[in-house]
Structure 1
Amino acid sequence: MLLPRILTALIGIPVVLAAIHFGGVIYMAFVGAVILLCLYEYGLVLTAGKKPVHMPSLLLFGLLMAVVAILGRAPADMVDLPDNLYPFSVSVVIFGVLFFEVLTPKRSWDRVCNTFTGVFLIPWSLAHLVNLRDIATYGEYLTLFMIITVWVCDTGAYFSGRFLGRHKLNKEVSPKKTWEGAVGGTVLAVGAAVLMRHLFLSTLFSVSEAVWLGLLVAVVGQVSDLAESVIKRSTGVKDSSNLLPGHGGFLDRFDSYLLLAPLFYYVVLYTL
């Protein structure tokens, strides 16, 4: 499994870094494609586990939430948007999902709940990757800071757990993850955060703030990973798909950002 994992990373990492660097429409299209693929894989996971989900509503209203998350923070002089954009959009999603369910011959409240979870969890969260990149002056560097810290944490956790792992983190949810892996990944993530602060963010925050941000990324990213594992284990599915050899699917690869991306964005926005 290690060789496919490395080969996929060698191809995927330059693509992600290039999209972040170019930003704008290119990065927005990249994140939009990731959101669509993650929504689709979420639907596949639930379907494989015989959990009902309304795929058209999932994709349609999921994209709506992603667009709203991005447009909602655009400067007023760029986009003429109503002040009540968020509540209006949430109302549209609630009405739309329930409306389509009422029209479905075999109605299911479980399908409504599963569809709502996908619509609000995946696109709303991942759209904040675009918001973070669009922060004036430092957007590219902050995005690199968060994403590379997650990569280092994942890699550190993988190898620490493989060679040092003895105590299971939560064998019911993720049987291969260990406390040793989690701690090893966190330590390396903090080191990477401090290093990146010295390389391109020294004017924005201090070393101690870099340590706290590194801890935030490592801890929340790993919790987010476990949250996605709860969805998969509840359906008996190991990977969201096999689109990324050695890594599973796009939802497996971007699961760390489901809880992390919005939190990191708002922490940066309101504290730095």
Structure 2
Amino acid sequence: MLGWRLLVSAILIPLLFGLFYLDQRAGSGAPYLLGLCLLLAIRGSYEMTSLLTVRNLAPRFSMVSRWSFLICAVAWIPYTWGESQPQIMSLALMSVTFAIAIIVIFLVEATGFREPGQSMERIGAEILSVSYVGFLLAMLAQLRWVIGPETGYLALGSLIISAKMGDIGGYTFGRLWGKTKLIPRLSPGKTQVGGVGAILGAALGAFLWLQFTPSLFNANWSAPAWYWSILFGAIIGVVGLVGDLCESLIKRDVGKKDSAELLPGFGGLLDLLDSPLYAGPVAFLLWKFLPLITVSN
């Protein structure tokens, strides 16, 4: 199983970065990334609503997918209309759209109310699903422009490499040397040694990415001090591990092993995206406040 996971990762990650290369050449409007995010929003909504169709939750796919799709779509408007401060406007549009989604979810449930015992459960499940799939996905995509339109995929790539190297490191260390369980009732497969491996793997991935790729995106950029790269990766490793555990919480509470059967050994789309989705907002802040590139005059 370890070899299979490494093989699939070795195929998927280059394909993803091939898409990023095409999108980089298409300009700051990022049309390929938009298309990918919209597809992920639809698929993620399907998996999330399927997961939560238990007890009295029963979130509606039509409601969750519509608003998740819309949150991702409106995030692109400022980048295509030539706004002077596109990222501020993009974040504002995302937030307002999410707030309207909450209002509409409540309104639809109120107008269709028949009897006690289900409305609040469905409202909670739908708001959770739109938050998880729509808002966190749109927030993740903001790394494409985090320090300006010229950022390209340096920042987004740093998160993906760190998070997935953390996943690989955690799985490898856990399988080879892990004995003591991390949180056995929540995630029986995760070990304390695996947690250390996740942090080390993410730190290594960030170090390699940030030390060797900045000049490929801009000739005036060079690597930051090595300790900033490792700090960035270690933090992403910790947050990604928490994201993995939180997605395990959702699956265990509804009595399912995977979010779907999309890829053998990986589960569904949400199983692949759990650590990047959770780490996206943290990576955004780290790119804002840490000197993760050096600009030469």
What TM-score comes out, normalization by structure 1 length? 0.89
Quote the offset at 1:27 in angstroms: 1.7
Is 2:265 aligned against 1:246?
yes
The range that moved more, 130-139 or 148-157, is 130-139
Q: Whole-Å Cα distance in 2 between the matches of residues 255 and 115 of structure 1?
A: 18
Residue in 1 aligned with 2:135? 124
Residue in 2 aligned with 1:215? 234
| Contact map agreement 2:142 2:284 (CA 8 A) in 1 | yes
Matched to 2:19, the amino acid is A
The range that moved more, 49-58 or 178-187, is 49-58
User: Root-mean-square deviation (CA), in Å?
Assistant: 2.6
Quote the offset at 1:155 in angstroms: 0.8
Count the aligned residue pairs. 271
2:195 to 175, 182, 187: 182
Unaligned runs of 5+ in 2: 24-29, 215-220, 292-297
1:261 to 268, 280, 284: 280
2:51 to 37, 45, 49: 45
2:66 to 60, 68, 73: 60
Taking every aligned residue pair, what percent have the same amino acid on both sides? 27
| Contact map agreement 1:133 1:139 (CA 8 A) in 2 | yes
Does the C-alpha gap of structure 1 residues 250 and 269 become closer, same or farther in structure 2, counting only changes over 3 Å? same
Quote the offset at 1:113 in angstroms: 0.5
SS in 1 for 2:188: strand
Quote the offset at 1:20 in angstroms: 1.8
Within 5 Å, which residues of 2 pair with 1:1-272?
A: 1-2=1-2, 4-23=4-23, 24-47=30-53, 51-71=57-77, 76-77=83-84, 85=93, 88-104=96-112, 106=114, 107-134=118-145, 135-201=148-214, 203=222, 205-272=224-291
| Contact map agreement 1:185 1:218 (CA 8 A) in 2 | yes
Quote the offset at 1:239 in angstroms: 0.2
Does the C-alpha gap of structure 1 residues 83 and 158 become closer, same or farther in structure 2, counting only changes over 3 Å? closer
Unaligned runs of 5+ in 1: none
What TM-score comes out, normalization by structure 2 length? 0.82
Quote the offset at 1:28 in angstroms: 1.6
The structure with higher relative contact order (CA 8 Å, sep 6+) is 1
The range that moved more, 212-221 or 125-134, is 125-134
SS in 1 for 2:239: helix
| Contact map agreement 1:141 1:200 (CA 8 A) in 2 | yes
The range that moved more, 115-124 or 138-147, is 138-147
Q: Whole-Å Cα distance in 2 between the matches of residues 53 and 166 of structure 1?
A: 38
The range that moved more, 117-126 or 236-245, is 117-126
Does the C-alpha gap of structure 1 residues 230 and 18 become closer, same or farther in structure 2, counting only changes over 3 Å? same
